[in-house]
């Protein structure tokens, strides 16, 4: 099967030659320019020939145009951080207005998408990374977000409307730039950060509007639920084709998820543990377990999140070999 055919079959839970495989890693030294990011993604794809390409924009590109200062501060994942938040006090929420999706940092990332789509040498679908509006608010404000949600949430809710409007336009712009779909991430729908009631109030309704806006246009919308103690069942109702989460760290298992979500499940690899330390035989066994949990149908073998920068190539080679040797 071609990569496109394999992905489409997995999303539909149809018979397949082998499960699709992908993994992704930040490139903090070069992701501040469109060309640098695109070259890093193209080189990564040439090395691993993955079944889909997740564009690894920095996790904070989405707040640069609202005034956040960002930098790489040494995280093992390679993710950049906001070193200065745009929202420092409640009144600052009023400064959050809709953005032009083709300008500034947002436009820079779209240019990277265009280059990747134009210069890739295979038919692997390209997914551009977007974040849920409430996740973006957390990046904009840091701990100030919880303070404001707990006192007078009206300014936050007003800003959420502005962010959501921007992300809806940006999702459309990403598809127009050539992306096949979206990697849509929420980092807030977790009991580690907020109650289920607050997630239902602040995260889920705004998150739903972004993939819904491209429903029928995006051929592959992949929801990433970050963290532990996640509100999986609430999010499983979003209009997405597949879900990725830290399945080796938090419920549900891949097998359980196939009973609770109609689309494809994306995971099986413990990127922060086993993939870093090995051994190779255990990594191959983890791949076999992931495929076995689903019978090889409706599964993409992938990490629960971005690969740490120090995962050895030997360990990734073991994943590739195990997946390409799997048949169900």
Domain ranges of the chain: 3-324
| Nearest of 239, 234, 283 to residue 260 by alpha carbon | 234
Give residue 258's pLDDT: 97
Q: pTM for this one?
A: 0.98
| Nearest of 299, 305, 223, 304 to residue 255 by alpha carbon | 299
Burial call 91-120: b when 16+ CB within 10 Å, e when fewer: ebbeebeebebeeebbbbbbbbbbbbbeeb
CATH code reported for the domain at 3-324 = 3.20.20.210
Structure-token pair, residue 2:
């071609």
Residues constituting the chain: 328
Q: Taking each helix axis from N to C terminus, what angle separates 133-141 and 154-176, rounded to the nearest 10 degrees? A: 120
Contacts of 105-109 with CB under 8 Å at 24 or more apart are: 105/61, 105/62, 105/64, 105/65, 106/61, 106/62, 106/65, 106/166, 106/170, 106/173, 108/33, 108/34, 108/61, 109/34, 109/37, 109/55, 109/57, 109/61
Give residue 327's pLDDT: 64
Structure-token pair, residue 55:
């564009």
Task: Report whether 306 contacts 272 (CB < 8 A).
Answer: no
Burial of 259 (0-12, 13-18, 19+ CB in 10 A): exposed
Give residue 162's pLDDT: 98
CA distances from 183 to 53, 145, 222, 243, 274 (A): 10, 24, 5, 10, 24
Model confidence pLDDT, tens digit, residues 246-300: 999 999 999 999 999 999 999 999 999 999 999 999 999 999 999 999 999 999 9
Strand positions, DSSP E, 85-206: 126-131, 181-186
| Nearest of 94, 17, 84, 22 to residue 53 by alpha carbon | 22
Residues of the chain with pLDDT under 50: none
| Nearest of 191, 182, 193, 192 to residue 137 by alpha carbon | 193
Ramachandran category for residue 171: left, alpha or beta (phi over 0 → left; psi -120 to 50 → alpha): alpha
DSSP string for residues in 7-30: HHHHHTT---SS--B------TTT
Give residue 328's pLDDT: 53
Give residue 326's pLDDT: 82
Structure-token pair, residue 133:
């509006």
Helix, strand, coil share of the chain (percent; to 5): 45, 15, 40
Instruction: Cis check for the bond before 279: say yes or no (omega within 30 of 0).
Output: yes
């Amino acid at each position: 099967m071609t990569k496109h055919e394999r992905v489409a079959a997995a999303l539909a839970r149809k018979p397949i030659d082998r499960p699709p495989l992908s993994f992704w890693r930040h490139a903090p030294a070069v992701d501040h320019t469109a060309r640098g990011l695109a070259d890093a993604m193209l080189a990564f794809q040439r090395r691993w020939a993955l079944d889909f390409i997740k564009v690894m924009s920095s996790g904070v590109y989405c707040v640069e145009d609202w005034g956040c200062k960002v930098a790489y501060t040494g995280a093992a994942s390679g993710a950049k951080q906001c070193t200065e938040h745009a929202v420092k006090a409640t009144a600052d929420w009023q400064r959050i207005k809709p953005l032009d999706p083709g300008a500034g940092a947002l436009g820079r990332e779209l240019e990277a998408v265009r280059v990747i789509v134009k210069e890739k040498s295979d038919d692997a679908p390209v997914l551009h990374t977007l974040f849920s509006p409430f996740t973006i608010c957390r990046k904009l404000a840091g701990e100030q977000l919880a303070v404001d949600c707990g006192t007078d949430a009206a300014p936050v809710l007003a800003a959420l409307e502005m962010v959501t409007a921007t992300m809806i336009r940006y999702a459309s712009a990403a598809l127009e730039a050539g992306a096949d779909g979206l990697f849509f991430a929420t980092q807030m729908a977790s009991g580690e950060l907020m109650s289920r009631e607050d997630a239902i109030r602040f995260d889920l309704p705004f998150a739903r509007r972004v993939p819904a806006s491209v429903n029928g246009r995006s051929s592959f919308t992949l929801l990433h639920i970050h963290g532990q103690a996640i509100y999986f069942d609430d999010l499983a109702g979003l209009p997405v084709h597949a879900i990725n989460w830290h399945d080796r760290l938090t419920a549900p298992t891949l097998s359980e998820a196939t009973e609770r979500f109609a689309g494809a499940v994306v995971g099986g690899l413990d990127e922060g543990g086993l993939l870093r330390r090995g051994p190779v035989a255990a990594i191959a066994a983890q791949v076999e377990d992931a495929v076995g949990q689903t019978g090889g149908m409706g599964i993409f073998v992938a990490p629960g999140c971005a690969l740490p920068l120090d995962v050895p190539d030997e360990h990734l080679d073991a994943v590739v070999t195990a997946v390409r040797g799997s048949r169900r």
